[in-house]
Structure 1
């Protein structure tokens, strides 16, 4: 078993929350996922933030390219480890 983690970066909180729900439906992710705000360096405005969703993939069953496409549906991306 590996301890692969995927980080999906989304443009806003609403998109990140939708992604959390969709991960369960589309990929069968059963772990409880958290949405984390990541302020951009040097930005004071609350609007200037990215929202992160971390997904643990201990079994290595999630395909990175599929997650890239999936995150893109919400104008986001998967961060390379």
Structure 2
């Protein structure tokens, strides 16, 4: 199987941390997702940062549409690779 990665984009750190906790409850994931702060180009202010939750899906079992809907619960979305 290929090494698929899904990137969920969230509006703030709290949302990203809540998503990480909820992912384990709602989806079968093999490892802890990576949380990364992504500052928007040219912005230094933390308020202008997005937070990314990166999760591996080695078996290709996670449905992209379900992940997008899931991220939407926190006003986020799934980034297309």
TM over 0.5: yes
* Offset from partner CA, 1:18-74 (integer Å, 9 cap, x none): 000111000022302221100000112111100000010010000000001000000
1:21 aligned partner: 21
| Residue matched to 1:10 | 10
| Worse-superposed segment, 41-50 or 29-38 | 29-38
Q: TM-score, normalised by structure 1?
A: 0.96
- Aligned residue pairs total 81
5+ residue gaps, structure 1: none
**Does residue 57 in structure 1 map to residue 57 in structure 2?**
yes
Partner in structure 2 of residue 80 of structure 1: 80
TM-score by length of 2: 0.96
1:66 matched to 2:32? The reply is no
Q: Paired residue for 1:33? A: 33
Alignment gaps of 5+ in structure 2: none
Distance in 1, Cα, partners of 2:23 & 2:46: 26
| Counterpart residue number, 2:46 | 46
